[in-house]
Amino acid sequence: MTLELRGVAMDYTVRGKVTRALDGVDLEVLRGEFVCVVGASGSGKSTLLSLVAGLTKPTEGGIFLEGAPVTGPGPDRGLVFQAGALYPWRSVERNVSFGLELLGLDAAERARRVDWYLEETGLAAVRKSLPKQLSGGQKQRVAIARALACEPEVLLLDEPFGALDVQTKEDMQVLIRQIWADTGTTVLMVTHDVEEAVFLGGRVVVLASDPGRIAADVEVGLPAGRDLAVKREPEFLALRARIEDLVREQHRGHVSRVSAVE
Amino acid sequence: MTGPIQRTTSASTADERAAVELEAEDRLAEEHEAGHVGKARPDWAPLPRRAGLKPTASPLLSLRTPISPRLKWLLGVLSFLVPLVVWSALAVSGWVDSTFLPSPGAVLKAGLDMAGTGELFTDLWATLQRVLYGFALAIAVSVPLGIAMGSYTAGQAFFEPLIGLLRYLPATAFVPLLMIWLGVDEPSKIAILFIGTVFYNTLMTADVVRAVPNSLIDVSYTLGARRGEVLRKIIVPHALPGMIDAVRVNAAAAWNLVVVAELLAAPSGLGKRISLSQRFLATDKIFALLVVIGLAGLTIDILLRITRERVGKWTA
């Protein structure tokens, strides 16, 4: 087993008012798994990743990586934000090599590794570019390559393709599946896009809102070597519809005009 | 197929297409009749309509519109030329006594005379030296302090209230006190410069440091960075262009302050020379010294701007 969450709860205090963002979350992610977490906004998806990354501490419960409790952030859990969070003054290759520089690797060793990750993410041609010169998809690839270069036990993806256009998003989905297959890295990804979750994940975890808790844990069971065409297969569509219904059901608490009309 | 893109219908001839269009219009009209469309909104009076934006007569009058490089250059030259012409006209016409307003020619001559005897350079160097010492000292204190305030909440909580108050005390108000404490020589000049710039530069540095996105700091921890490394490798490089901007703003203040300090009391310097010239009603010298002060300040600003552009290439 790689990652385990046991009875995790998280409270936020805003102006003296305590809000429970997550409650009683138990989750196991096995080594090499690709797990997607879906849920409407307010279901605590990003909080979950921030806890696993060690950037925030749970109010209750514990998080364990290879049996050891998570007490803070570290390079064994690489994180990719929706907005990329690239270092704007560093070129693409110097962004990717950041974690390796911290380890004190010599220049030749760094270059060897950076080259591989740039090749893997299709960034070799823009290696000298600054982040401001990149497209949205390229920026996310740099963020992914930078996290992967540290060889994390778990790659944490926080809605990494949420700001991309549909075509770029699909390219990135194919790419991340390829990277997952090539590196065998365990991936825990948060998204609000159910289609994306079903296409990418071996398992899809559905979060309920207010407070966020696990409502369902669905085995995807599609072939490992899937490509974009699978999105039109009846099994895929059925599974997607089932999970979308689950997400919608868990979202009912949030009264909106649309759901009131339905 | 060539020609304009048609709506997807099975119609091929022009007549058939016209028939399809008519049919679509009829259907829409029917839906409106039946009350399915556009009936939910209350029956308000129609809004008055404003005319659309009219094109301007000249590019000079439209907001934020780029102008040609030639026009830009021309306007830049005119910005100096117009006051110079007005000045010359006033001086030559004799409306104003030349004791009060010397002609540009007289000012140039006074400037060249001072340069010829070398006193101009002695004074310029004396003034520059004070700015360098005083402002360098202010930077040496304010930058680390600003970084601490912008990075540590405790640093912010401790320093902000006091510095926020101190910056409202005008440095010139300290002049009498500093003369009592430090005398009329260099230390009091340097102290005035320091007091006048250190607080602003601290607060401005703290602001740019605070503007470093949390996501950059968080992601660095997940890449294995320690706190000290985040400070040195993330916070400082990200804030550096903004810090240079702050230095640019405060360098102008330092340059103003040194002249003020020298006007009050100093053995040498451009400000001292101005107050000496005042005694002899040498307005031509005063004007020449003002021009030198302006040009020296501009040079400092241009040097800092070049540095800023070099360092901040990555900013959008």
Residue A144 maps to a domain: no
Q: Please give the pLDDT value at position A259.
A: 44
Residue A242 maps to a domain: yes
CB contact under 8 A, A55 and B224: no
CB contact under 8 A, A89 and B216: no
Q: Please give the pLDDT value at position A257.
A: 44
What is the strand order of the sheet A17-29 is part of?
Answer: A17-29, A3-14, A60-65, A68-69
Q: Please give the pLDDT value at position A260.
A: 43
Number of domains, chain A = 1
Residue A179 maps to a domain: yes
Q: Please give the pLDDT value at position B99.
A: 86
More confident residue, B95 or A110: A110
CATH code of residue A173 = 3.40.50.300
Residue A201 maps to a domain: yes
Q: How confident is the model at residue B215 (pLDDT cuts 50, 70, 90)?
A: very high
Residue with tokens 């990149």: A134
Residue A28 structural domain: 3-76+152-261
Residue A121 maps to a domain: no
Q: Please give the pLDDT value at position B35.
A: 66
Q: Do A90 and A108 form a contact (C-beta atoms < 8 A)?
A: no
Strands A77-80, A154-158: pairing is: parallel
CB contact under 8 A, B224 and A81: no
Q: Do A118 and A124 form a contact (C-beta atoms < 8 A)?
A: yes
B214 to chain A: which residues are within 8 Å by CB? none
Judged by a CB distance cut-off of 8 A, whether residue B315 touches chain A is yes
The predicted complex's ipTM stands at 0.92
Minimum distance, in Å, between the CA of residue B146 and any CA atom of chain A:
21
Residue A137 maps to a domain: no
How many Å apart are CA A185 and CA A154, to the nearest integer?
A: 6
B218 to chain A: which residues are within 8 Å by CB? 53, 55, 73, 79, 85
Residue A103 maps to a domain: no
Minimum distance, in Å, between the CA of residue A40 and any CA atom of chain B:
22
As a whole number, the mean pLDDT across chain B is: 90
CB contact under 8 A, A55 and B237: no
The model's pLDDT over B139-181, given as tens digits with 9 standing for 90+, comes to 999 999 999 999 999 999 999 999 999 989 988 888 889 889 9
Measure CB to CB from residue A85 to each of B215, B233, B314 and give the nearest one: B215
Average pLDDT for consecutive 10-residue bins of chain A (262 residues)? 91 89 93 93 88 95 95 95 93 97 95 95 95 95 96 95 92 94 94 94 91 89 86 92 89 51 40
How many Å apart are CA B303 and CA B227, to the nearest integer?
A: 33
| Residue A257 structure tokens | 């005009």
Q: What domains are defined for chain B? A: 123-311 (1.10.3720.10)
SS3 A62: strand
Strands A68-69, A77-80: pairing is: unpaired
Residues in contact with B203: Cβ distance below 8 Å, sequence separation at least 6, in sequence order: B146, B149, B160, B163, B164, B167
Residue A102 maps to a domain: no
CA nearest neighbour of B310 among B227, B244, B236? B244
Measure CB to CB from residue A99 to each of B216, B223, B234 and give the nearest one: B223
Residues in contact with A179: Cβ distance below 8 Å, sequence separation at least 6, in sequence order: A120, A121, A144, A148, A185
Average pLDDT rounded to a whole number, residues B55-80 = 89
Upstream peptide bond of B237 is cis (omega within 30 degrees of 0): no
CA within 13 Å, CB half, B72:
5
Q: Is the pLDDT of residue B37 over 70?
A: no
